Amino acid sequence: MASTRQSFPRMLGRALLLRCPWCGGRPTFLRGWFRRVDRCRTCGIRWHREEGFELGTVTVNTIVTFGSLAVAMGVGFVLTAPDIPVLPFVASLFVVALVMPVAIYPFTYTIWLAFDLAVHPPERAELDDAMAAVASGDAAAGTPIRPPQRRTRST
Ligand SMILES: [Zn+2]
């Protein structure tokens, strides 16, 4: 398991291949297209590292979907101007808006995890927890998703 800081381009490349951004391994925390397990089944790192992690995945999904719509509109305008067929044009954009969020769904988790790991690299305790999960077989078993442990602030 990777125990040192990984470069963001490397983690992003792994994420784009639906591999674990941290270890590059498969199987990862993805199970099928829409389901996830608690940890990467190769290295044991949790994907749900803090509360609100899914907000980041939704953000990635929204940015990519809206970007795809912008590109589709631009290409459509360039290819059909000045006589733009409005109904087929809007219908095709509607299809892009429906298909794109589903098509990129698992990628949003791996991409956002790559961002999260780059900005907030795992600490020793998190890596020890991951290694313990791998050693005990919990990570490979793919236990159901549990909420993240709350961090306590010392005052
Ligand atoms: Zn991993």
CA-CA distance, 29 to 92, in Å (whole number)?
Answer: 33
Task: Take residue 79 and report the two structure tokens written for it.
Answer: 């290819």
CA of 93 to the centre of ligand 1 (A): 36
CA dihedral sign, ordered 150, 38, 113, 64:
negative
Write the pLDDT tens digit of every residue in 52-86: 999 999 999 999 999 999 999 999 999 998 999 99
Q: Using pLDDT thresholds of 50, 70 and 90, give the confidence band for residue 146.
A: low
Domain spans of the chain, in order of start: 8-141
CA of 80 to the centre of ligand 1 (A): 46
Q: What's residue 3's pLDDT? A: 60
Q: What's residue 140's pLDDT? A: 77
Query: Measured in Å, how far apart are the chain's first and last C-alpha atoms?
Result: 34
CA of 77 to the centre of ligand 1 (A): 43
DSSP of 3-39: -SPPPHHHHHHHHHTTS-TTT--SS-SEETTTEE-SB
Write the pLDDT tens digit of every residue in 7-54: 999 999 999 999 999 999 999 999 999 999 999 999 999 999 999 999
CA of 22 to the centre of ligand 1 (A): 5
